[in-house]
Chain A
Amino acid sequence: MSISVTADSATNTIEISVLGSFDFSLFHDFREAYADFIGEQHRFCVDLSQVEYLDSAALGMLLSMKNALGEGVTIELKGANDFIKNILMISRFDKRFEIR
């Protein structure tokens, strides 16, 4: 499985880790990873440190996640390598996500 979900109750954070290539093939798995938490108040964190490649479909999936969880929910994108961080910044994802 290239997506894993861990919930940290102490910090109320749901962490979704993606492994390998983050592209359209993960469309359903990625949605399932957060689907159960829609409507709940958590902090979300998508760990991109194990992602080698990310395409525009993945950006779309992240936007879709943001939409589903709602405006008030914070989503952190962490651990992106330089290549991926560059993609995120070109598309100005800093306007919708916390990029670390």
Chain B
Amino acid sequence: MKLLCVDGEPVYQEIISLCAQKEGMEVVTASSYEEAIQCYEVHKPDLVTLEVVIQGGSGVQLASALKRMDPGRFVPIIFLTSHISDSVMNSCFKAGADDFIPKPFNEMLFSTRVSTHKRQIHLIQEMYRKNRELTFYQSMIEREHKMAHQVLDHILTRSERSSQHLAITRLSATNFNGDLALAYTQPDGTRVVFVGDFTGHGLSASIGALPVAQAFFDGMDNQIGLSELATQLNKILLNILPDYMFCAAYMIQIQPSGEIEYWGGGMPRGYIRRGDDSVDYICSHHMPLGILSVKEFEADCEKAFLGAKDTLVVASDGIVELKNSDHQMLGEKAMEALVMSSYIEQDLNQAQSAMEAHLTRFQGKSEQLDDITLVAIRNT
């Protein structure tokens, strides 16, 4: 560590140098304002001692000049002076001094002060170092997230866009969404929709979306059946996900005739809001994807029907577990009421917006803890 001693008197320069060297410090001395500025620039000291009266300017001005020169570095300034009135001391501290020792000074006291400052310098240097590391780490994470976003967004480009037949809302709890919604309409008009919810949320939860989307669209291209699709997705996720991760999902196939076939695992029940204002449910009967071995996996599907004026609404559990500012969950009853009131609207996208608005109002200022996916399907 380096100390810059600024004092016009050679005697003091010598005493201060000796004391500081005993403390294991390298010492640079200067006797005038200009010399002090130069030494500070060249030697970049860690600690400075200053006399109030120096050649070529005042020590007080020098203190504020030095503090301004290198604002990114913490360099304590100790005034060592024979001018010890309260007003001088006050102006020294106002100019940025960190300590004040009156002359003539006690060697032991000086050493104690210096070692205290050294400790503080070490702490602050450590803090600066950690800060630099964190900044580096943060920019690295940001870059990686940007890349991951690009890759994850790309897989959704093949998915069908919103229309009067399909509305998809995805709200992420964090930067990344652990929910996945994919839709594809085959040339004969058969529509297949996948709604999935990976364990947890954030980047690790969204990574499983890549292989699922790939397998989903491959399956669509090859026109495989729903059971086969479920079996394939389960196998893929079983192989790639760690054992504490899985994917709750609905896979729903709707024929132009309105006949529905679906496979559900680990998802809350979905709603078929009938045109006559009644409601039927679709329920998942299986374990989520990625848990059961190929031998144990059950691929059997359920059937339902979507009439001309009906709306099928499925959502990830992020909605029923959405909390308001009183920490109360929305719950299934309120969810059903919202489905019934929102999807009375004839325009599907307006109905979806109404539903979103209700959810936003319910949530108020409370934090969204889980990803939310809301999918509404109509057949007309």
* A interface with B by C-beta (< 8 Å): 24, 27, 55-57, 59-61, 63-64, 67, 87, 90-93, 95-96
Contact status A67-B288, CB under 8 Å: no
Contact status B266-A92, CB under 8 Å: yes
Contacts of A57 in B (CB 8 A): 199-200, 244
Q: Which residue of A lies closest to B332 (CB)?
A: A86
Contacts of A59 in B (CB 8 A): 199, 246
Contact status B243-A63, CB under 8 Å: yes
Give the shortest distance, in Å, between B309 (CB) and chain A (any CB). Answer: 29
Give the shortest distance, in Å, between A71 (CB) and chain B (any CB). Answer: 10
CA of A93 to CA of B284 in the docked complex: distance in angstroms? 13
Interface of B is mostly: loop
Contact status B370-A91, CB under 8 Å: no
Contacts of A95 in B (CB 8 A): 287, 292
CA of A87 to CA of B287 in the docked complex: distance in angstroms? 11
Give the shortest distance, in Å, between A80 (CB) and chain B (any CB). Answer: 16
CA of A24 to CA of B200 in the docked complex: distance in angstroms? 8
* 10 shortest interchain CB distances as A-B pairs: A60-B244, A64-B244, A91-B266, A92-B287, A67-B243, A60-B199, A56-B199, A64-B243, A57-B200, A60-B245
Give the shortest distance, in Å, between A3 (CB) and chain B (any CB). Answer: 16
Number of A-B contacts (CB under 8 A): 51
Contacts of B291 in A (CB 8 A): 63, 96
CA of A64 to CA of B243 in the docked complex: distance in angstroms? 5
Contacts of B242 in A (CB 8 A): 64
Contacts of B317 in A (CB 8 A): 56, 87
Contacts of B197 in A (CB 8 A): 56
In the complex, which residues 311-342 of chain B have their Cβ closer than 8 Å to any Cβ of chain A?
317
User: B67 on the interface (CB 8 Å rule)?
Assistant: no
Contacts of B286 in A (CB 8 A): 92
Bitwise interface map of B from 212 to 233 toward A, beta carbon under 8 Å scored 1, else 0: 0000000000000000000000
Contact status A90-B243, CB under 8 Å: no
User: B285 on the interface (CB 8 Å rule)?
Assistant: yes
Q: A56-B197, A56-B200, A57-B199 are in contact. Are A63 and B244 (CB under 8 A)?
A: yes
Q: Which residue of B lies closest to A92 (CB)?
A: B287
User: B272 on the interface (CB 8 Å rule)?
Assistant: no
CA of A7 to CA of B292 in the docked complex: distance in angstroms? 30
Give the shortest distance, in Å, between B196 (CB) and chain A (any CB). Answer: 12
Contact status A90-B199, CB under 8 Å: no
CA of A72 to CA of B370 in the docked complex: distance in angstroms? 34
Q: Enumerate 8 A-B pairs (CB-CB under 8 Å) in ascending A order.
A: A60-B243, A60-B245, A90-B267, A91-B266, A92-B285, A92-B287, A95-B287, A95-B292
